[in-house]
Amino acid sequence: MKKIIVGNGDEEPIIYKVSNRLSVSAQRVARAARELLAEGATRYDPEAEPMLKRGAEFMSVLGAKGDATLMVGPVHLMGAHASACLCAEGPDLTPKDRKDFVRVLKFLGDATTCFVLSLPLPPLRKGGSSDPIRELYQKLRDEPEAGFWEITLTEATDLLEALQDRAEPEIKKLCADLQHVTANRRSAFAHLSRAGA
């Protein structure tokens, strides 16, 4: 069993177990990133090349056979997630490829954190949101304002989906920030969904 230890040195690290199925899916994502690099697809966006390289390297290690413990920082995960999102929008993905991308993106979304601007939030009216979303929203309301809140990309995406139709100005500001930090992720999933994932 492979393990991923995520930490930035300031807090207790988080440990994720990597299943064999996820490792196989990571191999596919790594291959897609290498193919994009070989095709010169990044010539239109030079900044994408180093990101793709880092993402391919991380996915190759994640997908390698055998047991291992990997220690990574948030920056590694962000690069891997961005790389996977870019590759997920490729034109020639098979149904199996799409399942691999969904599996990898779900794992990375749970493991990768992002920062959203903290601001005073109004109480959430009853109805419309699931209990986990209400709990997350209340947790953000209760946290002291330190400039930014740190949440996972999965939480950011779920929170945006639950709150995007709210009319309160503070929630609209929060949603604008959530839209920004989840843009690549939502675009990748939309493409995979349209393609039949």
pLDDT in tens, 112-149: 989 898 888 888 776 656 688 888 988 888 886 668 88
- Report d(CA 78, CA 85) in Å as an integer: 11
Q: List residues bridging with 17 in a β-sheet.
A: 3
pLDDT at 175 over 50: yes
Pairing of strands 68-72, 14-18: unpaired
Q: Which long-range contacts (CB under 8 A, 24 or more apart) does 155-159 make?
A: 156/114, 156/116, 156/181, 156/182, 157/109, 157/182, 157/185, 157/186, 158/132, 158/133, 159/133
Domain of residue 118 covers: 113-183
- The reply to whether 58 and 41 lie within a common domain is yes
Cut 0.75: pTM above it: yes
State residue 185's pLDDT score: 94
- The reply to whether 121 and 150 lie within a common domain is yes
- The reply to whether 86 and 120 lie within a common domain is no
- The reply to whether 80 and 127 lie within a common domain is no
pLDDT at 94 over 60: yes
- Report d(CA 183, CA 85) in Å as an integer: 10
Q: What is the pLDDT of residues 57-78, one digit of tens each?
A: 888 888 888 777 778 877 888 8
pLDDT at 90 over 90: no
The residue among 81, 111, 141 that closes a domain is: 111
pLDDT at 110 over 80: yes
- The reply to whether 128 and 85 lie within a common domain is no
State residue 26's pLDDT score: 92
**Percent share of the chain, pLDDT over 90:** 35
pLDDT at 182 over 60: yes
- The reply to whether 174 and 132 lie within a common domain is yes
The number of C-alpha atoms within 13 Å of 149 and in the hemisphere containing its C-beta is 26
Question: What mean pLDDT is predicted for residues 101-107?
Answer: 95
pLDDT at 197 over 90: no
Query: The domain that contains 76 carries what CATH number?
Result: 1.20.1270
